[in-house]
Amino acid sequence: MSSLPLRKLLVDTDPGGDDAIALLWLQSLVRQGLAELVAVTTAQGNVNGSRTFTSACQLLQLGGCAGVEVARAVADPPGILPDARHIHGADGMGDLSATLPASRRDWQTAPSADDTIIDALTQSPGEITVVGLAPLSNLAAAEAKRPGILKLAKEVVLMLGAFERQGNVTPLAEFNAAYDPQAAQSVLESGANLVVLPLDVTQELIFRRQTAREMRSRAPESAIAVFVDRLCEFMTETALRYRETAGIEGFLVHDAVTVAYLFYPETLKFRRAEVRIETEGRYSAGYTFIDRRHGAKLQANAFVGCEVNRQQLLAILRDDLQQLIA
């Protein structure tokens, strides 16, 4: 058992192939005694809110954390984007949900995500890290209902935005930012202790098809290994179709970078910056930007990931997933 302090986490997610990998990685760290999942809140994004709730429940059951509280999305945002089922499948998980343990929870009677966030942070101020893998509708709703609530988080770690890279849903915007720009603006202006991990680092992280095959070959009877292999197969086909990986067989595990920051920060480099977002532009809504000019950054509101050691990070991810499978 590790002597490192236990990290308490509340994860906001919209599974999502990359969300699935991140959630399994976190559950490996729970098993290793490094993390405690306080709650998982689900958002509309990659697919609709009821589906992301069910998927999160299934992933927690698969990974051994079935007892963790799961909350349903707040009312769907007036999104300017369609969902991402063309990337992640109709169920958000490569159309593999029927192969996973059935969800034992009722979406309609589940607690609301904003209330779950408020309750958790109020009960344990300064102790819980909020990890945002989805559009920020739930976090913004909590902040609107209880102004200042996000300041009670130890950190708010977000997979969000693009600065030196093009967007992945428009030429300027990353999906989580573009799906609900007003929510992102609310969180960026909340005064919370923010860490922003953009496409600048996540687009380096290709989980290779061969890695998934090797994991399954070592444990062919493992439900987790089989799921990861089949998910990678589906997502690789999508990635190649949309030319996301420059012909490399694998898929981008954007959300995994949040886990790396929390537990393996040596794999990343950061800058301190003021992150802003365009909320109204006809062509630029969701565009995130920082001031790159030389000069004092007196209004900085976040640490922003700018470099990643992809080989080291992906090797750690592989090894930790292997521990969950073993």
The answer to the question of residue 2 being in a domain is no
Residue owning tokens 């991140």:
22
pLDDT digit string, tens, across residues 200-209: 999 999 999 9
The answer to the question of residue 183 being in a domain is yes
Per-residue pLDDT, 81: 79
Q: In this structure, which amino acid lies at residue 257?
A: V
The answer to the question of residue 48 being in a domain is yes
Residue 270 has a CB neighbour count (10 Å cut-off) of 17
What does DSSP say about strands 155-159 and 194-197: parallel, antiparallel, or unpaired? parallel
Per-residue pLDDT, 135: 97
The answer to the question of residue 118 being in a domain is yes
Per-residue pLDDT, 1: 39
The answer to the question of residue 79 being in a domain is yes
At residue 8, φ and ψ (nearest 5 deg) are -90, 125
Could you tell me if 73 and 137 are in contact, meaning their C-beta atoms sit under 8 angstroms apart? yes
Per-residue pLDDT, 2: 46
Question: Do you find a cis peptide bond into 16, omega within 30 degrees of 0?
Answer: yes
- Among residues 267, 245, 242, which one has the least CA distance to residue 25? 267
The distance in angstroms from the start CA to the end CA of the chain is 16
CATH code of the domain in which 70 resides: 3.90.245.10
CA–CA distances in Å: residue 176 to residues 36, 86, 135: 25, 16, 4
The answer to the question of residue 195 being in a domain is yes
Tell me the two tokens of residue 299: 């209004």
Tell me the two tokens of residue 310: 């992809």
Sign of CA dihedral 174, 179, 181, 187: negative
- Catalytic one of 86, 88, 254, 294: 254
- Among residues 28, 49, 24, which one has the least CA distance to residue 255? 24
Q: Domain range for residue 297?
A: 7-325
Question: Rg of the chain's alpha carbons, rounded to an integer?
Answer: 18
Alpha carbon 49 to chain centroid distance?
A: 15
What does DSSP say about strands 288-289 and 276-277: parallel, antiparallel, or unpaired? antiparallel
The answer to the question of residue 168 being in a domain is yes
DSSP state for residue 90 in the 8-state scheme: T
Q: Can you state the angle between helices 223-241 and 310-325, rounded to 10 degrees?
A: 150
Residue 309 and residue 326: Cα distance in Å, rounded?
26
Tell me the two tokens of residue 173: 């915007």
Domain tally, the chain: 1
Q: Which residues, including other chains, have CB under 8 Å from residue 185's CB and lie 6 or more apart?
A: 277, 279
Tell me the two tokens of residue 52: 């992301």
The answer to the question of residue 239 being in a domain is yes
Could you tell me if 204 and 248 are in contact, meaning their C-beta atoms sit under 8 angstroms apart? no
pLDDT tens per residue across all 326 residues of the chain: 345 679 999 999 999 999 999 999 999 999 999 999 999 999 999 999 999 999 999 999 999 999 999 999 997 666 667 889 999 999 999 999 999 999 989 999 999 999 999 999 999 999 999 999 999 999 999 999 999 999 999 999 999 999 999 999 999 999 999 999 999 999 999 999 999 999 999 999 999 999 999 999 999 999 999 999 999 999 999 999 999 999 999 999 999 999 999 999 999 999 999 999 999 988 999 999 998 887 767 899 999 999 999 999 999 999 999 999 98
At residue 112, φ and ψ (nearest 5 deg) are -80, 145
Whether 86 is catalytic: no
Could you tell me if 83 and 43 are in contact, meaning their C-beta atoms sit under 8 angstroms apart? no
